[in-house]
Structure 1
Amino acid sequence: MGHRGKRKPLPAEPIAAHIESFAHDGKGIAHVDGRVVFVDGALPGEDVTFVYTEIKRDYAAGRVVEIVTASPDRVPARCRHFALCGGCSLQYLSEDAQIALKEDLLLDQFRRIGKVEPAAQFPPLRGPHWSYRSRARLGARYVAKKGRELVGFREHASAKIVDMTDCPVLHPALGERIQAFAELIEGLSLRERLPQIEAAVGEERTALVFRVLEDPTAEDFARLARFGKDQGLDVYIQREGRDSVAPVYPETAHDLSYSLPEWEVTFRFGPLDFTQVNMAINRQMIDQVMQVLDPQPEERVLDLFCGLGNFTLPLARRAGHVTGVEGGAEAVARAIRNAADNGIGNVEFHVADLSKPESCGSWAGREYHKVLLDPSRSGALEILQCVPNWKAGRIVYVSCNPSTLARDAGVLVHEYGYRLLKAGVMDMFPHTAHVESIAVFER
């Protein structure tokens, strides 16, 4: 009995392998001893040596030791922390090859999971590959052994925080200040009780929310306020849940904002509100949705998972009436305020848990000409049972997870008689295996 928990040690010797293809998370796939091995850091077509990091009965995982024959798509990683940092996974893959990988993954998921195939493909939406990320959750930890504070992303598959000096994918307001954040926290009395910073960049202001596990001293407050003033940043502390977020500098909280000049809309949001991380791609994505949904002055449009109105308000500039629905009451309050601030009156908003259609209000039983879905990673499966009520001629689905998009596409096509007209990827998260995509369905 006592021997069952004993794990066989992993072989220490590097093993040779040929990488055949990509897995959905960007790892290379090889076959060794009749078993699939997912090799971190390897590209299709490469001959590599790797060491095992995990061996299960039907698959194994490993990480590259040496590239014996390199892929023509391999490029040097630009960031000095890339080998350790879990923030990016694909910096060694050229930009064009990253896009091609994401397109292949999307089509593969459609075929395998949804048993559907788009009739056509959108050209990919592309934006800046560096300095693009306008929001981040940065870990913070005081490491006694090093005698200093570390601030940054976590290491690959680890809770450890990378010893970072800067980050080239973050907006410069954040990425160039990593060292400054670490030095600030190092001088606080509660440096060992401050696990993270939530950072958000707007067009005119940048906000930092320091999560603290005990109350700061008067000296801590003075230090945080001085830092905010010197660096031109809005500084907040968060002691408990979201409602405990309190401004330190300036003393009154100011909204962050971003604008969509083409649609004459400006959004205001708080430092913890959900907004897209890549503002350049967000603008292109909204333009694309407007083009393919093509709302007309006499049409009613339903916008599900509407957040603070990112799509709702531009749609309302063209459509007759737009109904926005979102699970979070705070986001809906924000959307209502944004509509009022922009003088948009042809919208209504509802708070509803879209994973429980039975609890949805009267809006779920109405008819709409067109529907937009923009769910979280878990997709929109439950609310699709309301599709027959809506009788929508066109549905546009924006997704951050190709496998749940593929599953839901299968339902729309095989159960509700829609055609998958067109789909494509949007490069929202360069250098990661994260795939953002858009799909258009017609009845």
Structure 2
Amino acid sequence: MAQFYSAKRRVTTRQTVTVTVDDLDLFGQGVARHNGKAMFISGALPGEQVEVDITEDKRQFSRGKARRILTASEQRVKPLCPHFSHCGGCQQQHAALPLQQQSKASALARMLSRESGQPVAVDEIIGGSAYGYRRRARLGLNYQPKNQTLQMGFRKPASNDLVNITQCPILKPELNALIQPLHQCLGSLQAVRRLGHVELVLADNGPLLVLRHLDALNAADRLKLEQFSHKHQLALFLAPDSDKLEQVSGEMPYYQSDRMKLTFSPRDFIQVNDQVNQQMVAQALAWLDLQPDDKVLDLFCGMGNFTLPLAKLVQNVVGVEGVAALVAKGAYNAQLNNLSNVTFYHQNLEEDVTRQPWAAQGFTKVLLDPARAGAPGVMQHIIKLAPQRVVYVSCNPTTLARDSQTLLTSGYQLERVAMLDMFPHTGHLESMVLFSKT
């Protein structure tokens, strides 16, 4: 039988080396130098000497996993979560919070400096509690026929497999306390084989639960779920598909932004870290240096997280959002808070906006809070508006750096940079930048 050589077939020998770690990247990996190139090491911290199993060896970098810590860092701490290292939700619980924040701030400064061609420093870090901060979570559900049990939890790193969790210390305590009784309740349902996922949200008026089920629930299952909601004093919503949502018990949720009441649907986007969100809104308003006669444009405004607090301080605010349901909710929230100087528009901000009714107004200040893709479609229009100040809130430093270049080459200067530690123990890097017109 003939055998043929395949270039794709590679036989590698697992290699173990000893290195000293110099840095921590924003994803919580230690960074060392080996054979003249960068090595990224999961489970290692700066200053540590570690024995590393090399898992990937490329021309420009390599990756490895810490097999043994020979010299431990003073900033190494014991993770609170028993599922850490198995669950893919957190990557940095072994690192002290100040080290996590500083590594993210350094990464942000490097990216903005490289894009702007000038040294950029992070002026401040806006953070909060390391644990008990997350007010929203989606837990996967998977029935195991072999042992007839229901798995409930988060995905493993780089995998679709679930880690069956008993607790999650980064969740708000009210949500963390629901995990085990909820698991028992769902596992007892007759529809246990046909459940999709469950969402937990802590609103200011209490917790809520959204259950995605793949088949219609019978009367007995519905009764069990309703009894569970009453016992644990939570609002219950059932989702038979991705579009429908049935409210079974409880009130519609709301949260507060700068003392403004914002109602929302359980599926609407809200910032998961309320403590950081409150500080972020206050800082954005301060950076804009708002005056009573200002006209402010809030792009990617959602349901009014920034829009409504802005409207309390200036003559006129326009909020523009690409999701129609959020626009309707923003208008409702403005009415709820007795604000008559704010208008919401539904608009795809990737399209040409120059002919829209709101686009030609004389805005003096602009705030934008885009999704991870950034705001390339609207940056040139912001320049045409020539606002005095622009505050850009970002959840992706790469697209922030790209969009910043548009402003920097059009007569704006970068005034302030804040790192928003919205997601401690994870690799998510959020930030906020102030630009002013020179």
SS in 1 for 2:432: strand
Alpha-carbon distance in structure 1 between the residues aligned to 2:307 and 2:236 = 30
Q: Cα gap change, 1:366/1:12 in structure 2, threshold over 3 Å: closer, same or farther?
A: same
- Match of 2:421? 427
1:8-47 alignment, distance < 5 Å: 8-47=10-49
Q: Deviations over 1:372-420 (max 9, x none)?
A: 0111111112210102321101001111111211111122102x11000
- Asked if structure 2 preserves the Cα contact closer than 8 Å seen for 1:10 and 1:52, the reply is no
Alpha-carbon distance in structure 2 between the residues aligned to 1:344 and 1:358 = 25
- Asked if structure 2 preserves the Cα contact closer than 8 Å seen for 1:41 and 1:64, the reply is yes
Which of 72, 75, 81 aligns to 1:73? It is 75
- Asked if structure 2 preserves the Cα contact closer than 8 Å seen for 1:365 and 1:386, the reply is no
1:327-366 alignment, distance < 5 Å: 327-358=322-353, 361-366=356-361
- Match of 2:267? 272
Alpha-carbon distance in structure 1 between the residues aligned to 2:117 and 2:344 = 34
- Asked if structure 2 preserves the Cα contact closer than 8 Å seen for 1:419 and 1:441, the reply is yes
SS in 2 for 1:362: coil
- Match of 2:144? 143
- Match of 1:171? 172
Alpha-carbon distance in structure 2 between the residues aligned to 1:90 and 1:150 = 24
- Asked if structure 2 preserves the Cα contact closer than 8 Å seen for 1:224 and 1:248, the reply is no
- Asked if structure 1 preserves the Cα contact closer than 8 Å seen for 2:354 and 2:360, the reply is no
> C-alpha displacement at 1:145, in angstroms?
4.1
SS in 1 for 2:169: coil
- Asked if structure 1 preserves the Cα contact closer than 8 Å seen for 2:25 and 2:104, the reply is no
- Asked if structure 2 preserves the Cα contact closer than 8 Å seen for 1:394 and 1:442, the reply is yes
- Match of 1:378? 373
TM-score by length of 2: 0.94
> C-alpha displacement at 1:191, in angstroms?
1.5
Q: Cα gap change, 1:41/1:221 in structure 2, threshold over 3 Å: closer, same or farther?
A: same
Q: Cα gap change, 1:397/1:161 in structure 2, threshold over 3 Å: closer, same or farther?
A: same
- Asked if structure 1 preserves the Cα contact closer than 8 Å seen for 2:26 and 2:429, the reply is no
Q: Which amino acid aligns with 2:197?
A: Q
- Asked if structure 1 preserves the Cα contact closer than 8 Å seen for 2:253 and 2:266, the reply is yes
TM-score by length of 1: 0.93
Q: Deviations over 1:196-239 (max 9, x none)?
A: 11221101121111111211122221111111111111111212
Q: Please state if 1:199 is matched with 2:193.
A: no
Q: Please state if 1:289 is matched with 2:284.
A: yes
Corresponding pairs, count: 435
Q: Please state if 1:301 is matched with 2:296.
A: yes
SS in 2 for 1:52: strand
In structure 2, the gaps of 5 or more residues are none
Alpha-carbon distance in structure 1 between the residues aligned to 2:4 and 2:239 = 47
Alpha-carbon distance in structure 1 between the residues aligned to 2:11 and 2:167 = 37
Q: Deviations over 1:71-106 (max 9, x none)?
A: 222111121111211111111111111111111011
- Asked if structure 2 preserves the Cα contact closer than 8 Å seen for 1:152 and 1:178, the reply is no
> C-alpha displacement at 1:45, in angstroms?
2.4
Alpha-carbon distance in structure 2 between the residues aligned to 1:41 and 1:328 = 40
- Match of 2:412? 418
- Asked if structure 1 preserves the Cα contact closer than 8 Å seen for 2:353 and 2:378, the reply is no
Identify which range, 22-31 or 42-51, moves more after superposition: 22-31
SS in 2 for 1:247: strand
- Asked if structure 2 preserves the Cα contact closer than 8 Å seen for 1:10 and 1:54, the reply is no
> C-alpha displacement at 1:137, in angstroms?
1.2
Q: Which amino acid aligns with 2:274?
A: M
- Asked if structure 2 preserves the Cα contact closer than 8 Å seen for 1:353 and 1:360, the reply is no
Alpha-carbon distance in structure 2 between the residues aligned to 1:348 and 1:162 = 45
SS in 2 for 1:237: strand
Q: Cα gap change, 1:95/1:410 in structure 2, threshold over 3 Å: closer, same or farther?
A: same
> C-alpha displacement at 1:112, in angstroms?
2.2
- Match of 2:256? 259
Alpha-carbon distance in structure 1 between the residues aligned to 2:11 and 2:177 = 42
Q: Cα gap change, 1:112/1:257 in structure 2, threshold over 3 Å: closer, same or farther?
A: same
SS in 1 for 2:223: helix
Alpha-carbon distance in structure 2 between the residues aligned to 1:68 and 1:357 = 58
- Match of 1:128? 129
SS in 1 for 2:164: coil
- Asked if structure 2 preserves the Cα contact closer than 8 Å seen for 1:12 and 1:51, the reply is yes
Alpha-carbon distance in structure 2 between the residues aligned to 1:75 and 1:366 = 53
SS in 2 for 1:104: helix
Alpha-carbon distance in structure 2 between the residues aligned to 1:9 and 1:235 = 53
Alpha-carbon distance in structure 1 between the residues aligned to 2:322 and 2:389 = 23
- Match of 1:90? 92
- Asked if structure 1 preserves the Cα contact closer than 8 Å seen for 2:109 and 2:122, the reply is no
Q: Please state if 1:115 is matched with 2:109.
A: no
- Match of 2:211? 210
Q: Please state if 1:162 is matched with 2:191.
A: no
- Asked if structure 2 preserves the Cα contact closer than 8 Å seen for 1:10 and 1:55, the reply is no
Which of 399, 403, 413 aligns to 1:408? It is 403
